[in-house]
Structure 1
Amino acid sequence: MENFVDFLSHLESAKVIEPSIDYSDYVALDLSVSNTELNNHKLETAADYEVFIQNHLDRNNAKIAFGGYLETRNLYKRSTVFKNENTEERNIHIGLDLWINKQASIHAALDGTIHSFQNNTALGDYGPTIILEHEINEFKFYTLYGHLSEDSLFDKKIGQKVTQGEQIANLGLPPINGDYAPHLHFQIILDIEGKTGDYPGVCSENKLSFYKNNCPNPNVLLKIK
């Protein structure tokens, strides 16, 4: 695992959303349970979050808000995808979110092929999702792009080659994107565990150790300052 993280850290930085926007126009966003500012806002619907995030962008003169890796969040409580009577609660986010209130372009982080794609339609799920497979040096791994537009899946084929920086999708809008404020969920996965078109982006405390190792911090690759 350490070797893989070191490998990622030495790759050229990749942009996966609206590459014309410079990293200097990004601002960190904390949606964790420890951020007491969230208690001062009514955040129940996608529209509530859109307003909250746009205000955060405006206050910081920024265009994209980023963050969320290993954040414990309350925003999943509305969905049975993350907890029902037969499962333990999943509320720890294991990808990186990139928030922008428009249908931005989405780009491949690295050269690779389309591993799988699927519309995960449940409330609070990814919505349209693309997973790419990469094999660089001795490492085989995957990148997941969630909360896309529905038409992003129309022309895709398993095994289709993509090149780093190539546009592979557009960002989705609510409710198609799982009913969230517009954002890209970007995740790096070592072992896809036989899954197709989907992979957990949120985990429980009990399984954090596994997922932390299997899904390293995407910012090691993106290198957002």
Structure 2
Amino acid sequence: MRNKKNMSLLEVLSKIKKAPIVNFNPTNERMLNVHFDEIGLELNDNVISNTKVFSAWVEAKRVNAGAKFGIGGYDEYREIYSRSDHFNGTEPRRLHLGVDIWGPAGTPVYAPVEGSVHSFKNNIGFGDYGPTIILKHTIEGLVFHSLYGHLSVASLENLSVGQTIEKGQQIATFGNEAENGGWPPHLHFQLIKNMGDYVGDYPGVCKLSERGIYLDNCPDPGMLIEF
């Protein structure tokens, strides 16, 4: 059961007017629901272990469905993270805490609400975020953060901590596989209430045993996605 603070944030986000996070017209464009909860005959180890093959698989799914973007993944248990040691350990991290929007590298990303730059960083390493931007927002007295991962390196240029960001302002573009942590091009979008000591980074995948803790601090980012 959600606590009052979390419910208040969800209620506020459900009522405010948001700007689209990517260019998408629901009247004549399609958004494909994409899930990576299982590895099977089609999405297998041979696919996910090779970034080029994995990217081609994701792109074919989107194009064959006639969709401009693929979307999904919040609170989804994903075996695809076995492809990177970044997520492995005694208890591996497999539960996804954000929403992914899959599309071509270079796709513009926009701030859904006004805020300021909390921090930014290039989280280098196979499976990591690559270039990452975190914004801080205050709406009706509630402070929260939004994280944008797997961006282009150019997205981090000319940024400064505390910089004002307007609603609908372009803040980044999707990165390619060589710069985004070795993933098919996409945006990882996540909400975070309490950043703790994190700067330019915050876990986007957690251990299943810590699901309750992380989902409480990372409410459904779909509340800030509006098309």
Asked if these proteins are the same fold (TM beyond 0.5), I'd say yes
Structure 1 residue 35, shift from structure 2 partner: 6.9
- Check whether the contact 2:76–2:96 (CA below 8 A) recurs between aligned residues: yes
Q: Percent identity between the aligned chains?
A: 36
User: Unpaired segments of 5 or more residues in structure 1?
Assistant: none
Match of residue 198 from structure 1: 201
State the AA in 2 paired with 1:9. Answer: S
Match of residue 46 from structure 1: 51
Deviations 1:53-97 (A, max 9, x none): 22211222111000011111122112222123xx52101000000
- Check whether the contact 1:50–1:101 (CA below 8 A) recurs between aligned residues: no
Q: For 1:99 and 1:39, locate their aligned partners in 2 and report how far apart those are by CA, in whole Å.
A: 19
Structure 1 residue 122, shift from structure 2 partner: 1.3
Within-5 A mapping of 1:1-225: 1-17=6-22, 19=23, 21-23=24-26, 24-33=29-38, 37-39=42-44, 42-84=47-89, 87-223=90-226
Q: For 1:137 and 1:52, locate their aligned partners in 2 and report how far apart those are by CA, in whole Å.
A: 43
Distance 1:52 1:200, change over 3 A: same
Q: For 1:37 and 1:67, locate their aligned partners in 2 and report how far apart those are by CA, in whole Å.
A: 18
Structure 1 residue 39, shift from structure 2 partner: 4.3
Structure 1 residue 51, shift from structure 2 partner: 1.4
User: Unpaired segments of 5 or more residues in structure 2?
Assistant: 1-5
State the AA in 1 paired with 2:92. Answer: E
Structure 1 residue 45, shift from structure 2 partner: 2.0
Deviating runs (4+, > 4 A) in structure 1?
Answer: 34-37
RMSD, aligned CA: 1.8
